[in-house]
Amino acid sequence: MPPFPQCSTKCGKNAILKRPKTGDTLCKECFFLAFETEIHDTIINGKLFKPGDKVAIGASGGKDSTVLAYVLKTLNERYKYELDLFLLSIDEGITGYRDDSLKTVTRNKVDYGIPLKILSYKELYGWTMDSIVAEIGRKNNCTFCGVFRRQALDRGAVILKVDCIATGHNADDIAETVLMNILRGDIARLQRCTSVITTGADSIMRCKPLKYAYEKEIVMYAYFKNLVYFSTECIYAPNAYRGHARAFLKDLEKIRPSSIIDIIHSGEQLQVKANVKMPERRNCTLCGFVSSQDICKACILLEGLNRGLPKLGIGKSSKAKKIMNLNTDKRNKI
């Protein structure tokens, strides 16, 4: 009797793992091929790229973006996508976390031979996350960080003149976001959070090649490929609400592994009634980047920090709007 069952592809080798997503028992090589082919299918079916595209991979040094960079490089060579790949990292300025994870990205740059651009909050906004947390405390730090990161990636993409930003969002992330948006009643986000490609008014396209890849399989792939990634959690990570959605999803996955994909498929099928008012996408009148308001959230949050009013832009927007409009009027008069 062999110690392990045969690989279920009948390749003749012994299986070494059971796929969390499908339950198939596979050898290492057949797992690599199945995992990579599913990502290739996501890219082809979703028409994520076209030949000659310049693609920035949002690289944090974590498992998702490391696997994404490795697999995109592999598929680009195997299937001749003809993509020009870049690594784009954002340095939020979190001592003891991002400084270490960026060392991993720098190593990925060398290992994979992909050029790297690092942009920092300090150079873009004049603030680091360390200084923001010193100012606002630990309650809304992820709101600042998330809003600034999203815009920082857009800014980096403009500097690199890329056609698309590929992010490492995996199936678990997307299913969690579906749950969170349902719980919050956020219809606009619920409608677009399962899209494999998103784009705003003249903003750069974003895509999620790992949309259907399970987090557990990403970890397995990185492990069996010996990929170097950074696995420490951010020192400012409270994110309690997402944490509840994540714990709930993990419980569901234990009972029925297909729950993750089922939630994504449910999200994809949701249709918003025609009479529901959706936010319009436009360009911020101050910085020019994509926004759902005249003045984008990043500009409002930054103005609040610079004026010593860090709660500006958190919660109800009417006060922030008033102050920002006053400032815009002043700027126009100068």
Per the DSSP assignment, residues forming a β-bridge with 177 are: none
The 10 Å Cβ neighbour count of residue 152 is: 24
Residue range at the interface with ligand SF4 (CB under 6 A); choices 71-79, 140-148, 187-195, 221-229? 140-148
Nearer to ligand SF4, 197 or 314 (CB): 314
Provide DSSP, 220-241. Answer: HHHHHTT-----PPPTT---HH
**Least gap, CB of 95 to ligand SF4 (angstroms):** 12
* Separation between Cα atoms, residue 270 and residue 139, nearest integer Å: 32
Give φ, ψ of 145 to 5 degrees: -65, -45
Query: Which one among 237, 252, 261, 314 touches ligand SF4, defined by CB under 6 A?
Result: 237
Query: Which one among 129, 157, 160, 260 touches ligand SF4, defined by CB under 6 A?
Result: 129
Nearer to ligand SF4, 19 or 246 (CB): 246
* Separation between Cα atoms, residue 8 and residue 164, nearest integer Å: 37
Query: Which one among 96, 137, 146, 243 touches ligand SF4, defined by CB under 6 A?
Result: 146
329 is in an annotated binding site: no
Q: Are 188 and 278 in contact (CB under 8 A)?
A: yes
176 near ligand SF4 (CB under 6 A): no
124 near ligand SF4 (CB under 6 A): no
* Planar angle of CA 86, 90, 91, nearest 5 degrees: 135
Residue range at the interface with ligand SF4 (CB under 6 A); choices 3-11, 164-172, 180-188, 230-238? 230-238
The 10 Å Cβ neighbour count of residue 52 is: 10
The 10 Å Cβ neighbour count of residue 234 is: 19
141 near ligand SF4 (CB under 6 A): yes
145 near ligand SF4 (CB under 6 A): yes
Give residue 303's Cα distance to chain centre.
26
Enumerate residues 6+ apart whose C-beta is below 8 A from 211: 42, 46, 169, 170, 171, 174, 194, 196, 264
111 is in an annotated binding site: no
Query: Which one among 234, 260, 263, 296 touches ligand SF4, defined by CB under 6 A?
Result: 234
Binding mask 78-97 for ligand SF4 (x = CB under 6 A): --------------x-----
The structure tokens 């990929």 sit at 227
**Two tokens, residue 123:** 């150079």
48 near ligand SF4 (CB under 6 A): no
**Least gap, CB of 62 to ligand SF4 (angstroms):** 10
Q: Which residues are annotated as a binding site for ATP?
A: 58-60, 64, 90, 168, 173
Residues contributing to the site for ligand SF4 (CB under 6 A): 92, 129, 141-142, 145-146, 234, 236-237, 239
